[in-house]
Amino acid sequence: MKKKIHRTKKLLLLLLGLVILTAAGCSSDNSSSLSGGEKSGETEKKVNMIFSFKSADMDPHNVFTPVRAGVTETLLKLGEDSNIEGWLAEKWETSDNTKWVFTIREGITFQNGAKLDAKAVQESLEKSMEANESLSASLKIKSMEAQEQTLTITTAEPYPALPSELVNPYTSIVHAASEKEMGKEAFINAPVGTGPFKVKKFTPNQEVIVERNNSYWAGKPKIKEAVIKFNEDANVRALALQSKEADVVYNLPAEGLESIEKDETLKVESVPGLRSHIILYNQKSPYVSDLKVREALNVLIDRKSIAEDIMLGHGIPANGPFNSTLPFGIKDEVKELDVEKAKELLADAGYKENTDGKMEKDGKLLKLELITYKARPELPLIAQLLQSDAAKAGIDIDVKTVENADTHLAEHTDWDLATYSNNTSPRGDGSYFLNTAFTETGALNVGKIRNEELIDVINTLNRTEEFKERTKITQEAAAVINKNALHSYAVYPNILIGMSDRIKDWKPTAEEYYILTHTMDVE
């Protein structure tokens, strides 16, 4: 019996010693607090983030998530003040805006160890254009020639906007040969890029977990692992930040900021962005295909209330597609809410007010279906405000909330208008938005807009190199859009990002592309 007790004491002492050694090892490693109360050294740092849009896959040619998650990179990127700068390409030049020579940085490898050279870039761009028809149209590439670290691109016509188009996250450079080895499905869920993080696990529409790429060319990332969840419910995102389940949360609801800011361990960044909240019109609709009806709806948007009461000051009323503070923004006055003017315009379109105060024409009520979505929390509120003000002018609007607005608008033709949001100047000028939202092959042209005057202006812009002239032409395009009410622009919103005080060496940027970076750190 004594031997048994003696052995038990020895075992307890041994276990106690191990506990003390383990504790000493942890405390001597400059431990940092992680979400969930874990402690570890610098090499174990983790971060939890929430993005507001779901991602069905990680296909770098069709979703922005790979760039935002630090998995892939493009040849060129937007720097401060929306200036284009080199990323995987260290320099580029052209003498005629048709033949472009890009010098690819030396010493970069893909996450599988393969070398990044001009041939790999060519193969990736070819794959991008094959996978994304709209991208192929916007790049206008006629041919490419690769030699060591030099890639020569020839465009089908003089195209000064090519560098701007190569900022597009859909042009992410990936190791295209890996798709054959991995299979297409595996590759689009875990693309092999050059970024500071590589995909560890991806769950469609729920989350992506990325881990540090130790051989990253620009320096070892400070974060070992990041969990990025996708959640389109703004209130859930806000609660996750407040409960410390998330360290960084994108697109917070403005009405929830006050309670968040009461917590001294949290802060909110309100970043003036490059985005516009828009009312899209379906040109195939028998109602809003009428210019007078669109003009009436345009003056039923209470832009001042949207900026002050819905955005709570985190945005400014819109007067056109491009933020009026930008060099190529226009100086037109912001349209004010004018119910009587809307009624006059509807009368010009042949509508009459019936005994119930409803507008009708040829025995049919003016009843519209408006599509909205929750990922941007202010959009359903804008829809409700427009619904209320339109009713004062005799227009019935049925608001329909959908989970995936892009899919719904593309696959259905029976909608009339939609609240939507676009980054209208993500490349330092307006050419990307104009080409993708108003040309026949444009990926953003879900309303099937075709306006010959605007197309002529866009084609001129695409051929123009000098900045001041491009600015003038971009403003001309905005004037044509406003004159024809092709879209209505409601507000230029700030980006509302919440973050824990754990986050160091990181700040959100206006373009919304470069979110998880190798310099982000946590305490």
Within a 10 A sphere around the Cβ of 323, how many other Cβ atoms? 23
In this prediction, residue 90 has a pLDDT band, given cuts at 50, 70 and 90, of very high
**Comparison of pLDDT for 105 and 13, the residue scoring more:** 105
pLDDT at 16: 37
Per-residue pLDDT of 460-505, as tens digits, reads 998 898 889 999 999 999 999 999 999 999 999 999 999 999 999 9
pLDDT of residue 43: 60
Task: Kindly report the three-state secondary structure assignment for every residue of 457-503.
Answer: HHHHHHHCCCHHHHHHHHHHHHHHHHHCCCEEEEEEEEEEEEEECCE
DSSP state of 115: B
Per-residue pLDDT tens for 305-331? 999 999 999 999 999 999 988 889 999
Confidence category of residue 444, pLDDT binned at 50, 70, 90: confident
pLDDT for the residue numbered 493: 96
Residues 160-218 have pLDDT tens digits of 989 989 999 999 999 999 988 999 999 999 999 999 999 999 999 999 999 999 999 99
Q: Give the lowest-confidence range in 26-35, 97-106, 286-295, 351-360.
A: 26-35
User: Binning pLDDT at 50, 70 and 90, where does residue 219 land?
Assistant: very high
> What is the pTM for the complete model shown?
0.85
Q: Is 101 exposed, middle or buried (0-12, 13-18, 19+ CB in 10 A)?
A: middle
Q: Which pLDDT does position 39 carry in this prediction?
A: 45
Please provide the DSSP assignment of 224-290 as one string. Answer: SEEEEEE---HHHHHHHHHTTS-SEEES--GGGHHHHHTSTTEEEEEEE-SEEEEEEE-TTSTTTTS
- The pLDDT of residue 116: 98
pLDDT of residue 214: 96
User: What domains does the chain contain, in order, with CATH numbers?
Assistant: 73-178 (3.40.190.10), 181-272+496-522 (3.40.190.10), 275-493 (3.10.105.10)
